[in-house]
Amino acid sequence: MGTVVRCHIRGVLAVFEAGFRDELTSLGYTSSSMEWKVNEASRLSRWMTVRRLSPRDLDDARLAEFFTEFAASRKGPTALGRFGPLLRFMRLRDGGVSDPVAEPGAFDGLLGSYREWMTGQRGLAARTMDRYETTARRFLRLYTHESADVDTRLGSLTARTVIDFLLAEAARGLSSGSLGVRACELRSLLRFLYVRGFVDAPLAGAVPPVPGWKGATVPPRMSYKQVQALLDSCDRTTVRGLRDFAMLILLARLGLRAAEVAGLRLEDLRWRDGEVVVRGKSRRTDRLPLPADVGDAVVQYLRKGRPVTEARTVFVTLVAPRRPLHPAAVSQTVQRQCRRAGLPPVSVNSCGTPTWPRRASTPRWTTRRYANWPPHGRGPGHEHVGHGGG
């Protein structure tokens, strides 16, 4: 392994070097990556020194000017985000580059109120709210044009407006499943507008149902041998392999969703009780038995693979800065390991087997291991699933 050359920050930002190095260390950067970050900080510092700028002078306009010159000197594409650790550190030390604070207009205020309503009244997860807000923004921008008189324009919404929006979405080529999701998101927005008095009529009822057979999109489960091949594809002599194996066995044995695996916290593992707490949709919390093989896989990852970090989630990124793993990364892990195992790529929903059932499709209490658990349709999160339970 080559020798890492130590860099130094020259110029007006030199006073931040020691603290910046400590910050990078706490974020989990390796020594070589740390020197890259310090070298980039030195580039910015020298640029500011030549122009006689102090840290307080580094506003958004100046930063954009520097980055334009910096990007032009690079061979490949680059992004301003690579300076994120330095800029965040300087903000924390009151060293300039303050976050822009803009007074929200009526349009942004409306979207903010909608998000607060989804949080307080619906208890939706952050990712779900992001998706709902995106649809709301598109719909409202189309019919209010982000004007100051949002209230007046909302008052002119009609059932025809709602239907026209969905027809335009269908014309974009959305599948019936995606169109059904869009209809659900639109109903949520229209309920909010009616409850808060922005519209006089309950327009949510004007959203037409999207035709499609119920259960037609339930994903097929992998066979036992396929799931075993998927698990065996993880190289558990590496940090990545330990983490991926622990995530995959949680998906397969407990039937968790990607977001539930990503959201699993250290305090959710109740070792003495042999249980794991799963935080699902709508703020629901379930307690599930923790099989010995699943617990062993998680323990091996925590002891030998999980990096030191302040994050409380079980699964974190392998590359600095250390942060909680995104649900999309869990799905990407399934896809990657399928390719490594020589299997056709499948979704997270397909990781259950007849022996290890998928939680979101068939209740896991059909397994022989938990034969004395509640019957079909009576377990946490499955009150209405199964053979007449409910």
Give the model's pLDDT for residue 388: 33
Is the same domain home to 56 and 111? no
> What is the mean pLDDT of the segment spanning 222-251?
92
- 379 in a domain, yes or no? no
Domain hosting residue 148, numbered range:
106-206
Give the model's pLDDT for residue 111: 85
- 366 in a domain, yes or no? yes
Domains identified in the chain, total number: 3
Whether 318 has a pLDDT exceeding 80, the answer reads yes
Give the number of other CB atoms < 10 A from CB of residue 5: 8
Average pLDDT, the chain: 79
- Is 269 in a helix, a strand, or coil? strand
CATH code, 247:
1.10.443.10
> pTM, whole model, 2 decimals?
0.60
Is the same domain home to 277 and 318? yes
CATH code, 181:
1.10.150
> What is the mean pLDDT of the segment spanning 349-370?
45
Is the same domain home to 44 and 149? no
- 240 in a domain, yes or no? yes
175-218 confidence digits (pLDDT tens): 788 888 899 999 999 999 999 888 888 989 888 888 766 655 55
- 219 in a domain, yes or no? no
CA dihedral 234, 237, 239, 240 (to 10 degrees): -20
239-296 confidence digits (pLDDT tens): 999 999 999 999 988 988 888 999 999 999 999 999 999 987 767 888 999 999 999 9
Is the same domain home to 176 and 263? no
Give the model's pLDDT for residue 4: 56
Is the same domain home to 242 and 366? yes
Give the model's pLDDT for residue 149: 64
Is the same domain home to 129 and 241? no
Is the same domain home to 267 and 357? yes
Is the same domain home to 233 and 351? yes
Is the same domain home to 137 and 228? no
119-148 confidence digits (pLDDT tens): 887 777 777 888 898 898 888 888 776 555
Q: Which of 92, 119, 145 is the last residue of a domain?
A: 92
Distance of alpha carbon 9 from alpha carbon 363, whole angstroms? 58
